[in-house]
């Protein structure tokens, strides 16, 4: 490939404005680098006044992105407006996850630090846009300079507040808790004695290695939410196999999340048993099976 010298420019420097940029994003939201998102609405009116530049959505993960775009250097009012619109939309649709997204040409260290601090309480994504001129043409690049904190089980598991089995019997749906009870024999069937730890926030399960399964029995629904320590290519394969069995599964940080009902467990016990053995093998240092 031939090397071509480029020059960083600004959109205003090449005679373009924010509306031109919005039109490019509306044509193809994927240029932002946030995934294969769908455009719900451009310049969405907000109740207190003003308009949200873009409301985008990831239909598979049920996540909405409240996106504010500006040319030039990021300023305080842009940050405040982005957070305000994010809060309005999450109040409108509390059943969905929401992300506040700031797109600007110049995000200085001062504002980067402010956004990073806010990121601890508000899921903010900062994207820096660069216009690069090559000869008589130019292109746009979008770089995610700050992402939301990953929701994941840390490598060193933090201790939970210990409780007992009766606590979960009182605070969860019996049908949801029955999923946990149905998983235990499958682990035993792999020749390992399960180690079950009841905590106030979850039920952790392991064998001779670190815990590899965190169960979250639900109070008002029949399924049980599972968090499994499983990453890399093995995780992608298991997401596919569970999806083929009509069981919801998806990446969650470095782990995998699963929603499992008692009926799904009963109909796919062999598949679930194999998956648990794979997770256990990773935590015991045997590699994925």
- Give a three-class secondary structure readout of the chain: CCCCCCEEECCHHHCCCHHHHHHHHHHCHHHHCCCCCEEEEEEEECCCCCEEEEEEEECCCCEEEEEEEEEEECCHHHHHHHHHHHHHHHHHCCCCEEEEEEEEEECCHHHHHHHHHHCCCCCEEEEEEEEEEECCEEEEEEEEEECCCCCCCCCCCCCCCECCHHHHHHHCCHHHHHHHHHHHHHHHCCCCCCEEEEECCCEEEECCCCCCEEEEECCCCCCEEEEECCCHHHHHHHHHHHHHCCCEEEEECCEEEEEECHHHHHHCHHHHHHHHHHHHHHHCCCCCC
Task: Tell me the pTM.
Answer: 0.53
Please say if the pLDDT value at position 42 is more than 80.
yes
In the chain, residues under CATH classification 3.90.1150.20 are: 165-283
| Residue carrying structure tokens 């029995």 | 217
Helix 174-188 vs helix 269-283: crossing angle, to nearest 10:
70
Percent of the chain beyond pLDDT 90? 48
pLDDT at 149: 52
User: What was the pLDDT predicted at 165?
Assistant: 93
Instruction: Give pLDDT, residue 119.
Output: 73
- Of 76-90, 101-115, 233-247, the one with minimum mean pLDDT is 101-115
Who has greater pLDDT, 199 or 153?
199
pLDDT, mean of residues 2-23: 89
Smallest Cα–Cα separation from 145: which of 34, 62, 37?
34
Residues of CATH 3.40.1350.10 domain(s) within the chain? Answer: 7-146
Question: Quick one: angle between helices 269-283 and 232-244, nearest 10?
Answer: 170
Task: Give 61 or 18, the one with higher predicted confidence.
Answer: 18
Band of residue 109 on the pLDDT scale cut at 50, 70, 90: confident
Predicted confidence band at 150 (pLDDT cuts at 50, 70, 90)? very low
User: Which of the listed CATH numbers 3.90.1150.20, 3.40.50.360, 1.10.3080.10, 3.40.1190.20 matches domain 165-283?
Assistant: 3.90.1150.20
What b/e readout covers 51-86, taking b as 16+ CB neighbours within 10 angstroms? ebbbbbbbeeeebbbbbbbbbeebeeebbebbbbbb
* 63-73 and 97-106 strand pairing: parallel
Q: Look at residue 289 in the predicted model and tell me its pLDDT.
A: 35
| Average pLDDT, integer, range 103-117 | 82
Torsion angles phi and psi, residue 80, rounded to 5? -60, -45
- Rounded to an integer, what distance in angstroms lies between the CA atom of residue 233 and that of residue 86? 34
Q: Is residue 29's pLDDT more than 80?
A: yes
Thinking of the domain 7-146, which architecture would CATH place it in? 3-Layer(aba) Sandwich (3.40)
Question: Do 18 and 71 form a contact (C-beta atoms < 8 A)?
Answer: yes
User: Residue 244: its pLDDT value, please?
Assistant: 93
Compute the residue count for the chain.
289
Residue 286 pLDDT: 57
pLDDT, tens digit (0-9, with 9 covering 90-100), for 160-173? 688 899 999 998 99
How far apart (Å, rounded) are the C-alpha atoms in residues 89 and 189? 47
Model confidence at 288: pLDDT above 70: no
For residue 265, how many C-alpha atoms fall within 13 Å in the half-sphere facing its CB?
A: 24
User: 204: which 2 tokens?
Assistant: 């952790």
Task: Say what the pLDDT of residue 153 is.
Answer: 41
For position 176, what pLDDT does the model report? Answer: 94
Q: What is the pLDDT of residue 152?
A: 39
Facing residues of 148 across strands? none
- How do residues 64-79 score in pLDDT, each as one tens digit? 999 999 998 888 888 8
Q: What is the pLDDT of residue 235?
A: 87
Report which of 180, 155, 177, 158 is spatially closest to residue 168, judged by C-alpha positions.
Answer: 177
pLDDT band at 100 (very low <50, low <70, confident <90, very high): very high
Mean pLDDT (the chain, rounded): 86
- Judged against a pLDDT cut of 50, whether residue 156 lies above it is answered with no
pLDDT at site 160: 64
Residues 6+ apart with CB under 8 A from 275: 228, 230, 238, 241, 242
Confidence of residue 285 (pLDDT cuts 50, 70, 90): low
């Amino acid at each position: 490939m031939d090397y071509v010298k480029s020059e960083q420019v600004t959109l205003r420097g090449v005679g373009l404005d924010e509306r031109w940029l919005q039109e490019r994003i509306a044509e193809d939201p994927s240029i932002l680098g946030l995934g294969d998102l769908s455009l719900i609405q451009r310049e969405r009116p907000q109740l207190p006044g003003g308009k949200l530049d873009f409301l985008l959505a990831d239909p598979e993960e049920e996540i909405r992105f409240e996106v504010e775009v500006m040319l030039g250097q990021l300023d305080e009012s842009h940050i405040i407006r982005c957070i305000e619109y994010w809060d309005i939309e999450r109040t409108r649709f509390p059943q969905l996850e929401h992300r506040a997204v700031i797109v600007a040409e110049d995000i200085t260290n001062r504002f980067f630090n402010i956004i990073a601090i806010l990121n601890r309480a508000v899921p903010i994504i900062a994207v820096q846009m660069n216009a690069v001129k090559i000869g008589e043409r130019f292109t746009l690049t979008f770089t995610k300079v700050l992402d939301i904190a990953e929701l994941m089980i840390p490598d060193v598991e933090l201790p939970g507040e210990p409780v007992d089995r009766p606590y979960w019997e009182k605070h969860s749906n019996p049908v949801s808790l029955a999923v946990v009870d149905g998983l235990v024999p499958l682990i035993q069937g792999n020749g390992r004695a399960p180690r079950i730890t009841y905590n106030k926030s979850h039920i952790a399960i392991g064998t001779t290695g670190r815990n590899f399964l965190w169960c979250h029995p639900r109070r008002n629904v029949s399924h049980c939410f599972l968090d499994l320590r499983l990453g890399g290519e093995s995780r992608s394969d298991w997401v596919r196999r569970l999806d083929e069995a009509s069981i919801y599964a998806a990446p969650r940080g470095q782990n995998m999340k699963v929603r499992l009902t008692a009926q799904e467990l009963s109909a796919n016990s062999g598949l679930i048993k194999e998956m648990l053995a794979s997770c256990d093998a990773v935590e015991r240092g045997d590699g994925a099976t």
